[in-house]
Structure 1
Amino acid sequence: MTLLQVRGLNKSFGGVRAVDGINFDLQEGELLALIGPNGAGKSTTFNMVGGQLKASGGSIRLLGKELVGRRPRDICRMQVGRTFQIAETFASLSVVENVQMALLSHYGKGFSLFGSARKLYRDEAMELLSQVGMQHHAERPCSELAYGDVKRVELAMGLANDPRLLLMDEPTAGMGPEERNDLMALTKRLVVERRMAVLFTEHSMDVVFAYADRMIVLARGRLIAEGDAQYIRNHPKVQEVYFGTGKTFENEQAPSQVTP
């Protein structure tokens, strides 16, 4: 089932067109990578989908409902979750309290007096932590966690609104190879189990080729290629914009399963 439809999307900053007429779809149960060299328009496109930037033109539809013009918090209420390049957690709060905060926000409950809210949604928070393998660290302050574990907590927070669509901005930034693989394998499993979709940006090509079901490649604000790992790996225009003529992705890890 098609979850997200992007048509004719563009964004201009003054006289500069950062995104120029992009079209793509995202299916339920799919992990879609949005990649391209620096300045390609990835972050601009990503932030238009999440509502952080307003499109200059075009359409972004989630299950037929238009997202363009909606505020980020309104998009969040439409079951769109998000994680950030730099993990956004409350370092002084415990792991479970961080997830409770996300649930309180989702349910529209105030948390100015958090002491009186510590029991609210605790069971739900623990269930989310169990899904990301962090239930045994529930009472630890986030400040004590390794960065890879902080990213797992942030992922649990991103699941608090039971998202149909999860936006992940550079999910493995700052992580070592083992942590990167662990986080993306977990994300892949959650996509399948929850039947949600993930749109993610990523600079680590090993992560992209190993875990993305499909990729869209931008260059200078335009979509230049779309397809599975094998197609993107061998696409001459993609090789040109990343490496220059004659170089390839041959040293990157191939995914274990390719979706045509």
Structure 2
Amino acid sequence: MSLLEVRDLKKKFGGNVAVDGISFDLQAGELLALIGPNGAGKTTTFNMVNGQLAATAGSITLDGKELTGLAPRKIAHMGVGRTFQIAATFSSLTVIENVQMALLAHHRKIYSFWRAAADQYKAEAQSLLGQVGMLAQADRPSSELAYGDVKRVELAMGLANDPKLLLMDEPTAGMAPKERNDLMALTKKLVVDRNMAVLFTEHSMDVVFAYADRMIVLARGRLIAEGGADDIRNHPKVQEVYFGTGKTFENKEAGAVQ
């Protein structure tokens, strides 16, 4: 049994079918890219797995347990973490305080004011920051960080609930090439070290081909291809929906797909 199983997933907005009966699996220890041109249904699929959108039809199971119809908070407590396209940290807090807040939320103590937040889960927060290479900056205000470091802090926050599955929405958006590669190399290491699964959306094809174990490609709400880098790079339908007939990924400058 796969860790994540999506079966015949569909989402309609009025008369518009945004996701049209897609199915895929994701194993523990695997980095799976969800790609496709704008309007393909990637974000809608992502948000249904996360619980932010209710599916019109179909099933989503994590470790054999149904996620469909559950609230995002419940899904998070079942072992699903999330990072966002625009990094979300509290700029008024230090690096470690941001991670402590995520840990407090996971342990449902966010409203427990009887004990100073700075005293809670400090060791756990330090451990998470060590895993993402940010321990040395633990006491810095988040407002002083470079954007690439903010994304690392957000990744540590995404790990606060010890996820079986981590959802990463455009993790390298707004980052320079070296920052993109550093973040994805770190993510790949965490996948292996923690034996967790990662499902991510991404526009930069250099990142996708370099780091994804497999890819699934959507177009107009339907799954049109899945497989490894060579399978996707050479798939005629994928080349058609991205570039038009006769063009290939080799003709396109790396990372330029939008």
Scaled by the length of structure 2, what TM-score is found?
A: 0.96
Residue 250 of structure 2: SS of its match in structure 1?
Answer: coil
Q: Distance in 2 between matches of 1:253 and 1:112?
A: 51
- CA drift of 1:115 comes to 7.2
Structure 1 runs, 4 residues or longer, greater than 2 Å off: 110-115, 251-254
1:5 counterpart = 2:1: no
- CA drift of 1:113 comes to 3.6
Cα deviation per residue 1:94-126 (whole Å; 9 max; x = unaligned)? 000000000001111134649712111000000
Scaled by the length of structure 1, what TM-score is found?
A: 0.95
1:121 counterpart = 2:117: no
**Structure 1 residues 114 and 17 mapped into 2: Cα distance closer, same or farther (>3 Å)?**
farther
- Letter paired with 2:83: T
Q: Distance in 1 between matches of 2:121 and 2:189?
A: 24
Q: Distance in 2 between matches of 1:43 and 1:79?
A: 20
Residue 249 of structure 2: SS of its match in structure 1?
Answer: coil
- Letter paired with 1:97: E
| Aligned equivalent of 1:153 | 153
- CA drift of 1:15 comes to 0.3
Q: Distance in 1 between matches of 2:141 and 2:73?
A: 27
- Letter paired with 2:19: V
Q: Distance in 2 between matches of 1:132 and 1:26?
A: 23
RMSD between aligned residues: 1.4
| Aligned equivalent of 2:226 | 226
- Letter paired with 1:246: G
In structure 2, stretches of 5+ residues that fail to align are none
Cα deviation per residue 1:163-188 (whole Å; 9 max; x = unaligned)? 00000000000000000000000000
1:90 counterpart = 2:69: no
Q: Distance in 1 between matches of 2:190 and 2:251?
A: 28
Deviates more, 1:109-118 or 1:59-68: 109-118
CA contact (8 A) 1:210 1:253 kept: no
| Aligned equivalent of 2:19 | 19
| Aligned equivalent of 1:75 | 75
Residue 116 of structure 2: SS of its match in structure 1?
Answer: helix
**Structure 1 residues 50 and 114 mapped into 2: Cα distance closer, same or farther (>3 Å)?**
farther
Residue 86 of structure 1: SS of its match in structure 2?
Answer: coil
CA contact (8 A) 1:239 1:248 kept: yes
Q: Distance in 2 between matches of 1:90 and 1:194?
A: 26
Cα deviation per residue 1:128-167 (whole Å; 9 max; x = unaligned)? 0000000000000110000000000000000000000000
Deviates more, 1:124-133 or 1:245-254: 245-254
In structure 1, stretches of 5+ residues that fail to align are 255-260
**Structure 1 residues 204 and 106 mapped into 2: Cα distance closer, same or farther (>3 Å)?**
same
Q: Distance in 2 between matches of 1:213 and 1:195?
A: 14
| Aligned equivalent of 2:173 | 173
Aligned length: 254
CA contact (8 A) 1:101 1:111 kept: no
| Aligned equivalent of 1:257 | none
1:66 counterpart = 2:98: no
- CA drift of 1:2 comes to 1.2
User: Taking every aligned residue pair, what percent have the same amino acid on both sides?
Assistant: 76
CA contact (8 A) 1:206 1:253 kept: no
- CA drift of 1:226 comes to 0.5
| Aligned equivalent of 2:34 | 34
